[in-house]
Amino acid sequence: MNAALAARLAEICGADNVISDPQQLRTYECDGLTSHRCSPGLAVLPRSAEQVAAIVRACAERHVPFVARGSGTGLSGGALPLADGVLIVMSTMRSVIAIDPASRRAIVEPGVTNLAVSKAAEPYGLFYAPDPSSQVVCSVGGNVAENSGGAHCLKHGFTVHHVTGLEIVTPEGELTWLGDGTGAAPGYDLVGAFTGSEGTLGIATKIVVRLTPIPEAVTTLLAAFTTMGAGGAAVSAIIGSGILPGAIEMMDALAIEAAEAAVSCRYPEGAGAVLIVELDGPAGDVEVQTAAVRDICTAAGAYEIRAAQDAAERAAIWTGRKSAFAAVGRISPAYIVQDGVVPRTALPAVLDRISELSAEHGIRVANVFHAGDGNLHPLVLFDDTVPGEQKAAEELSGLILDLCIEHGGSITGEHGVGVDKARYLPKMFGADDLDTMQLLRCAFDPAGLCNPGKVFPTPRLCGEVPGVRHGPHPLTATGLIDQF
Amino acid sequence: MVALPDSLTTAGGVPPELAGAGTDVRTAGPADTAGGKQARYVAAPASAAEAAALLSAAASLGLTVVARGSGTKLDWGTAPARCDLIVDTRRLDRVLEHAAGDLVVTVQSGVRLDDLATVLAAADQRLALDPPESAGTIGGLIATGAAGPLRYRYGSPRDLLIGITVVRPDGTIAKSGGKVVKNVAGYDLGKLFAGSLGTLGLITEATFRLHPRPQTSAWLTRDYPSTSAAASAVHAIADSPVTPAAIELEWPSAAAPISVSALLEGEEASVQERAGRLNAILDRAMTGQSPGRPLADGRERPGTLLRVAFWAGQLAAVLDLIRGAAAANGLDPAVGGAAAAGLLEIAVTADAETEAVGGFVAALRASLQGLGAGSLPPLAASAVVVTAPAAVRDAVDLWGPVPSLALMRAVKYQFDPDHRMAPGRFAGGI
């Protein structure tokens, strides 16, 4: 790697905060998607927005690509480093700068963890609503990059609904504000465009988030069904009744078996499916809706329903669900976590087809999903010590994405495209769609240095196209000449 | 000003490139104006494909293009520098798919909000956006980012828009998002087009997330004698557990009391119970009619409408600054809006002197600048003139300071390199 660049970065951040030793760099070789690995050329740990801007300028001057990384929990390889690039590690910028309870806003640095924001807001009766399951460690900066969801986004929305302003370093190294924190700043909604752009439009250095009043009451129900079909019917009936729960989660028998093996969650015996329904809001509403959801589940064939009355009981119900991904490691040497979305009404058909595909390919698939918004997380199980199994599992995993697209859904609901799914993006969008999206990229990052190789399978060249006019001649625009 | 090629000015003639694009095209009449600029041609495509062929033809002729739906907000923004072709979207009037079970609807951009509401009501659902211009189209709703009181709970069009199809200025059809509520595949162009006032391309289709229609709704209203008392009430309602769908403030004139209203929605028994709790919190609040919205009047009469966005915690200060700036310029406008969401609108009557309006806007912006202190962003509040009589619009900077204008210009340049889509209608000459 460029020694002059390393020296320049050391000037900016101090030598202690620049990592060039290959052994130490291996710490950063992957994010949560461990199947893709690459050690960065250099890693740097800035302490301030000004340092980030100076780092980016140093990279831009030398045409060296750079990637920002938060806590490294991403599941699509969005923070995968580049061997010839600089990795900018944001986890050292982790303070909650201010809480403004009357405005229901917090200003935070990007490295702060998702849960730390809610903890800081709690004394004011407020919380930060998006709650990805990695919220204990994942960073808000990473959440902004990925437009992260979580179990409760069914009711409360995604990261993009809760970010109202961003201080960013542009890919050319300029420090600027997008939006003003109000959520209604004049001009284009660049905050909305930036959120979910997977680190390709710049690096957030300050984030203004909306805070939400902590609901007065919360109840959590666990309903056990003998079949997935019955559980699915209950989901449709709940939504159809006009109730909007905070979360509706579902697990199938294999996922339950894994969770049982890992954390002894003690879900009802013999369940072919369990449904977790969480209701939040004013106490009176929650009480009425809880009764209604119980009735709906019973009518749909639930043979056991448990209700959590306090935080400890609630945690017990959620333990199985939240540990499900990791728990699958107890019943399979290796697995792929898939993330696809289908319209909620297509869930029964899609789940049936996944189970057929699983049988046809002789590969086990455990299903854990956000049933309320049709976001599936099929876990495709395989043994990585058996030659060919990984390839077969990847193939099945891809077929599940095809199935989602066939039903009018999406190849990713919350994990992002990253490096993992760039090749699937053309199945959802045509060449013109992808080309148009990249106009935004060209506006922010004309040199293509900011997290290149992510999201889009084929990068757009941002240079001027020969033969295309670009606006009136300057002299015409200023009224000095007329053009005929 | 670029003079048009001779072929375009031939009497009575629509240029063959336009006429041959497969869409109804006619020469413009005296009513076909945008921001006071007389158009030359009006075309009404009936599909995205027709719109694409039309814009491609317009590109080959170098025509500037302004999209028009019902025309309820056509005078929003700065007057376009030029308007050769008006694209009338009202033939794009189909509700393409209402997936009631998925609470999602896909519509063409010329569908009117009130017509869509009727379709959705049949399934007891709604698009939870309630701007006063209910005769407006979906395209206009998105392009202006319009919203009403429900903004407090549901946000603005950008928050409920989950998929969009647009035609770029060169005729390329492009889409982003999709038909599912949860989706992070690719960039979200809907965010960029929401509020873009037609400066990036033509919106032809949109998909929205829907919500169940509430069984009952009730407004609770109480008057307050001072800005601090009104602001305290707004904050108390927002902090309370009764989950209002809207919190509105109305202050028709400096001498009038300030009324604060909360909208409760849900099942009958729940609304009753929460209304009781809110009455206790506010001490003697009354169940009443929906607020009179003096600003709706301001919108209908051709006065000046401003939108002030601020951090909600500064509500009392902002109300005082508005009155101070108005009084210093001899004005007494109506003020109101989604106070708890940090958004107020100001309606100045049409008979106000242009100089006074200009003085008011400048004074208000200057005083709002002082709010960005401490750890807040450098510009933490804004005052935008949404629409105004021609004289005011020509004399006043409608936008004021805009953060990251350079990036916005770069976006505009990428999407519309020839600067032909509603040129000059947006902030910073965009």
pLDDT at B301: 59
The pair of structure tokens assigned to B262 is: 């909360």
A430 inside domain: no
Chain B residues with CB under 8 Å of A242 CB are: 124, 212, 215
For B212, the token pair is 């169940």
Domain assignment present for residue A196? The answer is yes
Q: What pLDDT band is residue A23 in, cutting at 50, 70 and 90?
A: very high
Q: Count CA atoms within 13 Å of residue A269 on its CB side.
A: 0
* pLDDT over threshold 90, residue A17: yes
pLDDT band (50, 70, 90) for residue B285: low
A167: domain CATH number is 3.30.465.10
Which tens digits make up the pLDDT trace of B173-228? 999 999 999 999 999 999 999 999 999 999 999 999 999 999 999 999 999 999 99
In-domain check, residue A339: yes
CA–CA separation, A436 vs A33, rounded Å?
Answer: 28
Does residue A146 sit at the B interface (CB-CB below 8 Å)? yes
Q: Please name the residues between 377 and 436 in chain A that touch chain B, using a CB distance below 8 Å.
A: 408-417, 421, 425, 428-429, 432-436
Assess if residue A431 is contained within a domain.
Answer: no
**Residue holding tokens 């008979």?**
B351
What is the average per-residue pLDDT within B264-283?
A: 90
pLDDT score at B4 = 45
Segment 228-247 of chain A within 8 Å of chain B by CB: 236, 239-240, 242, 244
The domain tally of chain A equals: 3
pLDDT for A25 beyond 90: yes
Dist CA A188 CA A172 (whole Å): 20
pLDDT in tens, A120-155: 999 999 999 999 988 999 999 999 999 999 889 999
Task: Taking residues A106-115, report their average pLDDT.
Answer: 98
The alpha-carbon gap from B416 to the nearest alpha carbon of chain A, in Å, equals 8
* pLDDT score recorded for residue B378: 82
Give the pLDDT confidence of A292-327 residue by residue, as tens digits: 999 999 999 999 999 997 889 999 999 889 888 888
Distance from CA of B302 to the nearest CA of A (A): 22
Looking at the structure, tell me whether residues A316 and A190 fall in a common domain. no
User: Choosing among A239, A248, A439, which should be mutated to test the B contact, i.e. which has the most B CBs within 10 A?
Assistant: A439
Nearest CA in chain B to A372: B102
Domain boundary among A406, A439, A466: A406
The reported pLDDT for the residue numbered A463 is 66
Cα gap A56→A202, rounded to integer Å: 9
% of chain B surpassing 90 pLDDT: 84
| Six-digit token string for B70 | 């019902």
Binning pLDDT at 50, 70 and 90, where does residue B291 land? low
**Cβ contact A210:A126 at 8 Å:** no
Q: Identify which of A187, A284, A412 has the shortest CB distance to residue B185.
A: A412
Say how many residues make up chain B: 430
> Does residue A275 sit in the same domain as residue A342?
yes
Give me the torsion for CA of B351, B357, B358, B359, rounded to 10°: 130
A141 with A157, same domain: the answer is: yes
B interface mutation test: which of A96, A97, A99, A103 has the most B CBs within 10 A?
Answer: A103
Which residues from A are below 8 Å from B368, CB to CB? none
Q: Which residues have CB under 8 Å from B97's CB, separation 6+? A: B104, B105, B106, B179
pLDDT tens sequence across A340-384: 999 999 998 999 999 999 999 999 999 999 999 999 999 999 999
pLDDT for the residue numbered B287: 60
B411/A433 CB distance under 8 A:
no
The two structure tokens encoding residue A27: 């710490």
User: Nearest to residue B340, comparing CAs of B260, B266, B272, B270?
Assistant: B260
- Asked if residue A389 and residue A252 are part of one domain, the reply reads yes
Domain match, A242 and A303 both? yes
Q: Which stretch of A42-56, B317-331, B375-389 has the lowest confidence by average pLDDT?
A: B375-389
| Cα separation, B191 vs B157, whole angstroms | 9
The H or E element spanning position A326 is: helix A324-327
Average pLDDT over residues B319-338: 97
List helix spans (H) across B218-267.
Answer: 227-239
Q: Tell which of A75, A92, A109 closes a domain.
A: A92
pLDDT greater than 50 at residue B10? no
**Are B174 and A433 within 8 A, CB to CB?**
yes
> pLDDT over 70 for what percent of chain B?
93
| List of chain B residues whose C-beta atoms are within 8 Å of the C-beta of residue A402 | none
**Residue A285 and residue A204 share a domain:** no
Q: Which residues of B touch A409 (CB under 8 A)?
A: 178-180, 183
Chain A residues touching residue B102 (CB < 8 angstroms): 343-345, 374
pLDDT: is A381 or A483 the higher one?
A381
Pair of tokens at residue A289: 């809706």
CA–CA separation, A390 vs A35, rounded Å? 11
Least confident of A20-34, A414-428, B89-103, B363-377: B363-377
Taking contacts as CB-CB distances below 8 angstroms, the residues of chain B near A434 are 186
Q: Are residues A255 and A322 in the same domain?
A: yes
**Residues facing B246 on adjacent strands:** B263
Per-residue pLDDT tens for B67-113? Answer: 999 999 999 999 999 999 999 999 999 999 999 999 999 999 999 99
Helices (H), B290-428: 294-300, 315-328, 354-369, 390-395, 405-415
A197 touching chain B per CB within 8 A: yes
Q: Report the Cα B167 to chain-centroid distance in Å.
A: 20
In this prediction, residue B376 carries a pLDDT of 82
Check whether B250 has a pLDDT greater than 50. yes
Nearest to A164 by CA among A199, A190, A143: A190
The reply to whether residue A103 touches residue B312, judged by beta carbons under 8 angstroms, is yes
Q: Is residue A13 part of a domain?
A: yes
Q: List pLDDT tens digits, range A388-405.
A: 999 999 999 999 999 999
Partner-chain residue, chosen from B166, B378, B415, that has the shortest CB–CB distance to A177: B378
Give how far B91 is from chain A: nearest CA, Å.
24
Q: Which of B343, B404, B419 sits opposite A184 (nearest CB)?
A: B343
Q: Tell me whether residues B342 and A184 touch, CB distance under 8 A.
A: yes
Token digits for A229?
Answer: 């079909």
> What's residue A2's pLDDT?
80
pLDDT at A462: 84
Lowest-pLDDT choice from A29-38, A103-112, B55-64: A29-38
Is-contact A171 A451, C-beta < 8 A?
no
Residue A244 lies in a domain: yes
List Cβ neighbours of A431 (8 Å cut-off, separation of 6 or more). Answer: none
Alpha-carbon gap: B2 to the closest alpha carbon of chain A (Å): 6
Q: Give B422's DSSP letter.
A: S
Give the largest Cα separation in chain B, rounded: 73
A/B interface, count of CB pairs below 8 Å: 299
Chain B within 8 Å of A484 (Cβ-Cβ)?
yes
Statement: residue B292 has pLDDT above 60: no
Does residue A466 lie in a domain region? no
Number of CB atoms found within 10 A of residue B424's CB: 18
Which chain A residues have a beta carbon less than 8 Å from that of B270? Answer: 282, 284-285, 288
For the cut 70, the answer to whether the pLDDT of residue A271 exceeds it is: yes
Average pLDDT score over chain A? 92
For chain B, the first-to-last Cα distance in angstroms comes to: 16
Question: Between these two residues, B346 and B295, which has the higher pLDDT value?
Answer: B346
The answer to whether the CB of B245 falls within 8 A of the CB of B181 is: no
Residue A191's identity, in one-letter code, is: V
Residue B288: the pLDDT is 60
- Partner-chain residue, chosen from A100, A186, A375, that has the shortest CB–CB distance to B400: A186
Contact call for residues B382 and B368 (beta carbons, < 8 A): yes
Q: Is A156 on the interface with B (CB under 8 A)?
A: no
B103/A239 CB distance under 8 A = yes
DSSP-based helix, strand, coil % in chain A, nearest 5: 40, 20, 40
Token reading at B195: 């509020």
> Which residues in chain A are contacts of B184 at CB distance < 8 A?
146-147, 149, 196, 410, 412-417
CATH of the domain at A392: 3.40.462.10
Pair B291, B258: CB distance under 8 Å? no
The residue range of the domain holding A394 is 217-406
- CB atoms B419 and A416 under 8 Å: no
The residue among A427 and A329 whose pLDDT is bigger is: A427
Q: Which two tokens stand for residue A367?
A: 């299903």
The pLDDT value given to residue B367: 95
User: Is A149 found in the same domain as A85?
Assistant: no
Q: Chain B partners of A374 at a C-beta cutoff of 8 Å?
A: 102, 180-182
From first CA to last CA, the distance across chain A in angstroms is 54
In a shared domain, residues A116 and A256: no
Q: What is the pLDDT of residue B160?
A: 98
Contact across the interface for B187 and A468, Cβ inside 8 Å: no
- Say whether both A60 and A125 belong to one domain: no
Question: Residue A65 maps to which CATH number?
Answer: 3.30.43.10
Q: What is the pLDDT of residue A481?
A: 41
Q: Which residues in chain B have their CB less than 8 angstroms from residue A285's CB?
A: 243, 266-267, 270, 274
Q: Are residues A230 and A324 in the same domain?
A: yes
In contact, B181 and A373? CB cutoff 8 Å: yes
Structural domain ending residue among the three candidates A213, A234, A258: A213
Residue A474 within a domain: no
Q: In terms of domains, do A196 and A236 share one?
A: no
